[in-house]
Structure 1
Amino acid sequence: MPLPRLDPTRQQALSVSIATGAYGLSFGALSVAAGLDVWQTMALSLLVFSGGSQFAFVGVLGAGGTAAAAVATSTFLGIRNGFYGVALAEFMRPLRGLRLAWGAQVTIDESTAVALAQPHDRPDARRVGFWWTGVGVFVLWNAITVLGAVLGQQIGDPADWGLDAAAAAAFLGLVWPRLASRRAQAVAAISAVVALALTPLLPAGVPILVAALVGVAAGWQAAPVEEVPE
């Protein structure tokens, strides 16, 4: 018996979920390499559930930074998700109780982008894109994170497998599709230069935090969400 064919919105959501969830393998391995155990890694993915913030957190710890610097950097990078609610509110209302809490948890770059990629006059399609992508990424990201963490305990020194560079590569992979406009590209370039210049001068994690502040000051957070492609 053939499987039912998914509509374009669900197909897009599924493809984005699979592509994004795959990064969980690198995150899980890097997390245990940075000193967290499997349970802590699982908790970080379940509760924080923001790829950029999670990679920043373990990256700071892996570089020898303090827990405070790791938390500050991760939190600051995660603030952007809160702004997505402004664009989503028009077609996601009303949400109450547990449904509201669950919706807030899966409001991420990917779920927002897929939702807003649907026609403006199809609020039903936008809601489908949001929920299918958000829940899909959540399930796959957390499942593959566990696999990466378990494997990470067995491979020894991450530098022997090239995983010492995987955090930067995976973070770039998550961020690159968002740099669609020249404005975003310019701000990203400025922030990168600031981080590189400050790395030899400041403790681990602080250069990333300063670069993020520079990005906000330059108006990165004010860029329209609709410019985010997937």
Structure 2
Amino acid sequence: SRDGVVDLLDATFFAHQSPDVNRARLVDSVVEELAEMEMLDDGDGNGRKDRLTATELGSAVSRQYVTPVTGARLVEGVQTAARMADENVTELTALEIICDTPDMHGTYLGNRERAAMYRFASTHAAEFTTDLGAAENFEEWLCAVKLARIFADWTAGESVEAIVENYRIGPGDLEARLERVEWLLGAADAIADVVNADLPVFREVRDRL
């Protein structure tokens, strides 16, 4: 229940550090947001507003250990990909979806890379779930495209040395991000099952990592 969550927060270090925070209002805000994401049933529709229950989607997101915002981004990307023509759903589609999430640590885009990455994005626009002109934060999205391109090169057999040289990313950073790619591809695949999207591309790309 909401009261139960507030009681739990009251016993945390957060409550000790933030005595002026209205925790009941904070819980209401989070519950509302999770309900909008369809990850939480707040009981409003069945007259049991005090009872909080995770939805099937919410349970799946929790089991994958991704944040709710990442879960919502994955749902949006998966559902968009499911509406795309089959021939346009490629490895890049799967990689763009997972790279454009908060749980994928971003990268930087050098001035000399920006034009080349824009040309790459334009060339492969049909394979992406985000339209070039509709990206909420174009620079951030272009960084996600850069990561998607890096991982596509990796699955194609490009060496670590070549990727480091071509994209100015450290070997350690590459290794750390590859671990995240595998994790997020698995999460996207699980979420695709929950929303009944037939997208084996996530498993296929994960198998090639």
Same fold (TM over 0.5): no
TM-score (norm 2): 0.27
TM-score (norm 1): 0.25
- Greater relative contact order (Cα 8 A, min sep 6): structure 1 or 2? 1
Which of these two proteins has the greater Rg computed from alpha carbons?
2
